[in-house]
Amino acid sequence: MPKQIIFGGLVILPVYMIWRGVQAVTVLTKHQPEDQLKVIDHVGFVLISLFDGFVIVSALDLQAPGWLVAVIAVRAVGVGIFGINVRKKTLKMQTM
């Protein structure tokens, strides 16, 4: 049952990821430097989602226990968010 719930969520997620990608392209077409942070958020979400999906599926394929899959997924999201925040800080420092 947990696998069915996880895979159900992973089926819905690509639709939202495509929408976020379209939002990023829309922001990029405006060519406003302050909007780069929004693009980083949109693209970062998509990258984190893809990475997390691969990590979850890999852990399930390796027959990891459910609690370990959850821990790995949460840590993967945390690492991704940290990376996005570092990039945003770097971008802000470059524009000053």
Cα–Cα distances (Å) from 57 to 2, 17, 52, 67, in that order, read 12, 17, 9, 14
pLDDT > 90 fraction of the chain, expressed in percent and rounded? 10
Q: What is the value of pTM for the model shown? A: 0.66
pLDDT in tens, 6-44: 778 778 888 888 888 888 777 777 766 667 777 888 888
pLDDT band at 96 (very low <50, low <70, confident <90, very high): low
In this prediction, residue 23 carries a pLDDT of 80
Instruction: For residue 51, give the nearest of 73, 26, 28 by alpha carbon.
Output: 73
